[in-house]
Amino acid sequence: MIQLYYAAPSIYGRKVLAVLDEKGLDYEIRKMSFASQDHLKPEYLALNPNGEIPTLLDGDFAVYESTAIIEYLNDEYPEPPLLPEDSEGRARVRMAEDYCDLHLYPEVIRCFIKKVLKNEELTAEDTDAVTERLQRLETLLAGKTWLAGDFSLADCAAMPAFASLEALGVLDACVKSSSLKAYVSKLKQRPGYKGASLMSLEAAAAS
Ligand SMILES: N[C@@H](CCC(=O)N[C@@H](CS)C(=O)NCC(=O)O)C(=O)O
């Protein structure tokens, strides 16, 4: 059975959960706690020397780094395929997915820290900063249903960002354009949105 080492509210972890749910795979969540510094304990560092969450264990093979994990899942469990066959298509998916990891998530995490960990209200300045990052997704969509051709790992990566904004109560404040609203409502109908949403603010604050 696949095991995912996950702590709420890890956005990178929920990206992996979205892919597991899209593929309909059975898995078990190994609950970790940041407060207890589980991610820095020797037994966890033996699996993931970076000391970050998530890590996926498939049999006795440990994969870490969320992008490596989701590509591994797509290789090992090819149905349904979440990467195109051609190299240009694959590169497009990877560019969009990296944009989420490197540019969109940090802004969402900033909002999470402010609201949940510092207990401060989010302002228009905070939500505008997210809206600005979401503009890239809007450009990539450009009248299409998904970010990079067919539904793909890139869309799985976008899911936990929107799910986080929803949990923080600022989805409408951040998602302003009709095309992005339509995209979010399509994402919400996907099986992966369940895993992507596995976050309650209470659990996250306690974690
Ligand atoms: N590049 C890593 C980033 C993972 C990451 O930053 N995880 C955060 C939680 S969302 C973490 O474990 N932080 C612990 C720490 O930095 O001490 C990935 O994609 O898996």
**Could you tell me if the CB of 48 is within 6 A of ligand 1?**
no
Which amino acid, one-letter code, is at 124?
A: A
Atom of ligand 1 nearest to the CA of 15: 19
Query: Which residue, judged by its Cα, is nearest atom 12 of ligand 1?
Result: 52
Cα(13) to centroid of ligand 1, in Å?
8
Q: Which residues contact 143 (CB under 8 A, 6 or more apart)?
A: 179
Query: For 2-81+199-206, which CATH superfamily applies?
Result: Glutaredoxin (3.40.30.10)
Distance CA 115, CA 205 (A): 10
In angstroms, rounded to a whole number, what is the distance separating the alpha carbons of residues 107 and 170? 13
Q: Which long-range contacts (CB under 8 A, 24 or more apart) does 45-50 make?
A: 47/5, 48/5
> Which CATH entry fits the domain spanning 87-191: 3.30.420.40, 2.40.160.20, 1.20.1050.10, 3.40.50.300?
1.20.1050.10
11-39: pLDDT as tens digits: 999 999 999 999 999 999 999 999 999 99
124 CA from centroid of ligand 1 (Å): 27
The per-residue pLDDT string of the chain (207 residues; one tens digit each, 9 = 90 and over) reads 999 999 989 999 999 999 999 999 999 999 999 999 999 999 999 999 999 999 999 999 999 999 999 999 999 999 999 999 999 999 999 999 999 999 999 999 999 999 999 999 999 999 999 999 999 999 999 989 999 999 999 999 999 999 999 999 999 999 999 999 999 999 999 999 999 998 766 666 666
pLDDT of residue 143: 86
Shortest-distance Cα residue to atom 17 of ligand 1: 52
Token pair recorded at residue 75: 């290789």
Return the domain boundaries, the chain. 2-81+199-206, 87-191
pTM above 0.85, yes or no: yes
CA-nearest residue, atom 1 of ligand 1 = 65
